Structure 1
């Protein structure tokens, strides 16, 4: 990883020098070899390649500052606070495995057989974020939302399955911080961030949590004789799964019992069909309870849908035009979201609630039917299709309707929420110890200012235990990626079934405007853009030295890969990597 960056920077620098040495005379400073041009070009304030970001605090990701926009956002927030007398509410609606092009507001909806009129309506009245990013898979994303860190820093590199250890234990989380600021914190739905005691919802900041601790297929696949006949039709193996060490029930978690959650109904092939209906009822009841309250609330509603296995209830089976179990699920999720938004209006809290709708990753492409993306790759990969997710922010009267392709990472939700709670910008660092790195940036101004711009100049991609890529503006430099059909040659491929390359040669870069499929590298032709990408990637690797990666749920026995070729200072770097848990090394 480190060697790749250094080689990429060196190669780019040498080529840049050669280009400068052969530059044309000053009389033709812009144009082509056939002559100069009088075209002045256009400036786009949304593009930041030429700008230098600034760290709000030593342990925080750098930002592009917008003082005038900050002032506008602060005035709007102050006026709202004077009107309501309390801090803004926050509602996160997190879909599961929903692709960028599944909802109508991104070109899907009726065009793909699952109309999403509720999502489309509120997206059109809010800020549609066409370059919003998750991590490649669900648990890492959920932890990123809760910690403001990317997976290399929070350490949940992949989903824990069937009771595997590891999770949020010991970290500072968004609900924990909001609770200290007077928020009532309610969680509903899929958890999947660890079943060990310290990682349970009530021990990381939730006043109340109703949902399940794992993921849909953990409860269903071994019961289904069509998907897993070798288990479902084997009494001994079936009993093994029944007795396996993971929680098989819907649970209710409260601080009254910090050791465990209360078991509810067993999640079988019948109850799985109505979980989202029950969770909707739970969130609606919570919102009713908050009507007229002088306290702000934080509601985290994480749907079951549309992660496989989808078993529509009789109420929803065939409701979509496509009539697949996935499309039927999308139609139901649209209804669920619409009901929550209606309830916000009914209780008089729509004008004081920031709503963010997003997905935990792109569509999985190994269990059909599944979601859709116009980009390369799927869940489990760091290509755009795996991590660019359908997202919008809605806040009645506060967010101006518009679209933006500027960068937004789901790690940004925590700093943005804490800005609303009273800790804008660098003040957030006061809530963390100085050893904790915050990868998210405060995007409150981006959302609220009348013509808000993103505070994020660059975005770091991760893939399992690897630093994978970096994006600035429309350019993306790739160091580590996935070859989707590198192992499996037939059927649905991609995501977790692909093979990973970790040596790109340092010259792979894409222009995501001209080539969103990421199949034409422009790294050599567009070296003036590739060099800042490589420099930013090299800078972030230095951040990883100062704020070391964590490995709580990972690969290769929870150890990262063996690096046996390193740049100057090899022995010192190897010793450092060993000390911080980077695995074994060869001489």
Structure 2
């Protein structure tokens, strides 16, 4: 017959409080009569192994280019805490996203699957406030996967994966319906050009596109940008404080660096790079605040942090757009500038500092988190993301031998090893066109030079346009067909194998109903503000005046 003390011995042995030779009867008796004390021991961060269900924090920037950070080579941007993470963590040079536009890319981050499989594609390319559909509930999100592993789950910031389905308030597609226990201040749509409240681009924000929620409650329409990042950060800090004793997954989706650009007073007019640099400095410090909170609770060494962007920079935004470094193209493009991103993984004491040239993707995060959390993903569907746990912990080779660049449901290009083949390419702005569209450095309108997958601005290539990305990451010098016959055959077979098992999801982005657009109060023309004090940083007034001169007929 087993001793009644056996369960206690087992638990205490795990924490190193007893050995087979030394058992304190008084301690055992104390624990028998004090279950709360035993629970406290079980929750002790001091004895929790870093590899035992580490916390997972996913930080996502919006529209940040692969070259925007000092650690990724920007020549004038001031360094900040994210660069410190890059120096002390693992910085990837071949980090990719599942799509070059917001909604499909974020669906890939959440599910680990290409948007073409999910159905997050269509003529509009993103979910709009009047789109009836959202991220399918049949898709397992990273939040749901981590809940299965016993994690608390939290989210703040930009969602852009659907809002309502049948009314202005049903919130059918909001984050709380996709596995998040806690949802703080969030933008269910996006930080749109239409939401500019500086007077630089718009006289007044568009109430139909600009609203701030807390969980499923609309609290500001149109929202004020000033203080927005602090709201997100404060919610993230509160979630960490409330859940630090147990494993948690936290998703922080910043509104930076998407236009309309904004920053708080402390950061406005501080960067030599201008408003874009101000925005980035504010995000640096927000990330630092989050890491400081982890350290304050003695859990930084038991927390893995991923920092990525959702895709490349919106180049047509001139000085307000990001920087793709040497890469061609940007947001919406199948060129490297659209899909290649900053990708940093930070885990003090576990991941050795360094630089990796291995191919990793945003779709790998769910598989890696599940692997670290001790759970598995469903086997009834194809996952494009793979666990990169071994890449992170011991420098193993990437599990990826290929990567597909989609636009809607069309394969635009494929990478196999170091070679990339373009079947279709989109037009990219020339310097001359920039001069016409960027008077005074400011974009004259919210647009893409080419946001299409076919048509007049798209060129088809047969045979495909082939580049060696190791020698020519800027995709400037296409290789001759002659001498690369074997490469073309490998690419052809890779595409055929991919298509053979591809089941396209039903396109979800083109079902509209304007009666479901959120409205906080019809009696006030959908204008309300329950969280903000309005205001624009005073130092931006000169920019507003300059822009007004350029916009004047």
Distance 1:326 1:91, change over 3 A: same
**Counterpart for residue 7 of structure 1:** none
CA contact (8 A) 1:159 1:553 kept: yes
Q: Which residue of 1 aligns with 2:323?
A: 372
Deviates more, 1:326-335 or 1:312-321: 312-321
Is the contact made by 2:129 and 2:163 (CA closer than 8 Å) also made in structure 1?
Answer: no
Tell me the number of residue pairs that the alignment of Structure 1 and Structure 2 aligns: 439
Which residue of structure 1 lines up, in the alignment, with residue 504 of structure 2? 548
C-alpha deviation, 1:531, in angstroms: 2.0
How far apart in 1 are the matches of 2:450 and 2:88?
A: 33
Q: Does 1:117 align with 2:80?
A: yes
- SS of residue paired to 1:146: helix
For 2:192, the equivalent position in structure 1 comes to 217
* SS in structure 2 at match of 1:438: coil
Match of 1:444 in 2: 389
Alpha-carbon shift at residue 168 of structure 1 (Å):
1.0
How far apart, in 2, do the equivalents of 1:152 and 1:438 lie? Answer: 12
SS at match of 1:507: strand
Moved more, 410-419 or 471-480: 471-480
Q: Distance in 2 between matches of 1:150 and 1:357?
A: 20
Q: Is the 8 A contact 1:136 1:379 kept in 2?
A: yes
Q: 1:89 maps to what in 2?
A: 55
Tell me how far apart the structure 1 counterparts of residues 410 and 81 of structure 2 sit (CA, whole Å): 38
Alignment partner, residue 142 of structure 1: 106
Q: Secondary structure at the match of 1:414?
A: helix
Q: Is the 8 A contact 1:249 1:263 kept in 2?
A: yes
Distance 1:151 1:417, change over 3 A: same
Q: 1:151 to 1:119 in 2, by over 3 A?
A: same
| Counterpart in the other structure of 2:407 | 463
Aligned partner of 1:103 in structure 2 is 69
Mapped partners of 2:269, 2:474: distance in 1? 32
Deviations 1:355-392 (A, max 9, x none): 00010111101223211012000101110001100111
- What is the deviation of 1:143? 0.8
Distance 2:278 2:261 in 1: 9
Work out the CA distance in 2 between the residues paired with 1:390 and 1:316: 22
CA distance in 1, matches of 2:115, 2:95: 16
1:296 is aligned to 2:264: no
1:312 is paired with a residue whose SS is coil
* Cα-Cα RMSD: 2.6
Distance change in 2, residues 1:494/1:401 (3 Å): farther
**Is residue 469–residue 537 contact of structure 1 (8 Å, CA) maintained in 2?**
no
1:412-437 superposed Cα distances (whole Å, 9 cap, x missing partner): 111111111223xxx5334xxx2x32
- Aligned ranges 1:221-300 → 2 under 5 Å: 221=196, 226-228=200-202, 232=204, 241-242=206-207, 244=208, 248-253=210-215, 261-268=216-223, 271-291=224-244, 293=245, 295-300=246-251
Deviation sequence 1:300-340 (CA, Å, 0-9, x none): 00101110001322221111122x21111011111111111
CA drift of 1:542 comes to 1.4
Structure 2: unaligned runs, 5 residues or longer: 1-45, 165-170, 439-447, 514-553
- 93-102 or 334-343, which moves further after superposition? 334-343
Superposition deviation, residue 485 in structure 1: 4.6
Which residue among 378, 381, 391 is the counterpart of 1:429?
378
Q: CA deviation at 1:105?
A: 1.2
User: In the TM superposition, what are the counterparts of 1:11-410 in structure 2 within 5 Å?
Assistant: 83=49, 86-108=52-74, 111-112=75-76, 114-134=77-97, 135-157=99-121, 158-170=125-137, 171-196=139-164, 197-210=171-184, 211-217=186-192, 220-221=195-196, 226-228=200-202, 232=204, 241-242=206-207, 244=208, 248-253=210-215, 261-268=216-223, 271-291=224-244, 293=245, 295-322=246-273, 324-368=274-318, 369-373=320-324, 374-410=326-362
Cα distance in 2 for partners of 1:329, 1:540 equals 40
TM-score, normalised relative to structure 2: 0.74
**Residue 437 (structure 2) aligned to one of 467, 491, 496:** 491
| SS of aligned partner of 2:378 | helix
| Pairing partner for 2:490 from 532, 536, 542 | 532
Are the counterparts in 2 of residues 132 and 390 from structure 1 also a CA contact under 8 Å? yes
CA–CA separation in structure 2 for the residues paired with 1:554 and 1:466 = 17
Name structure 1 gaps, 5 residues minimum. 1-79, 233-237, 254-260, 558-587
Q: Distance in 2 between matches of 1:507 and 1:453?
A: 28
Would you say 1:513 and 2:458 are equivalent positions? no
Separation in structure 2 between the aligned mates of residue 85 and residue 455 of structure 1, nearest angstrom: 21
Normalised to the residue count of structure 1, the TM-score between the two structures is 0.70
Once the two structures are superposed, residues 497-533 of structure 1 have per-residue CA deviations (whole angstroms, 9 ceiling, x without a partner) of 8955363113311111222221322150422223212
Alpha-carbon separation, structure 2, partners of 1:495 and 1:120: 32
Distance (whole Å) between structure 2 residues aligned to residue 517 and residue 265 of structure 1: 43
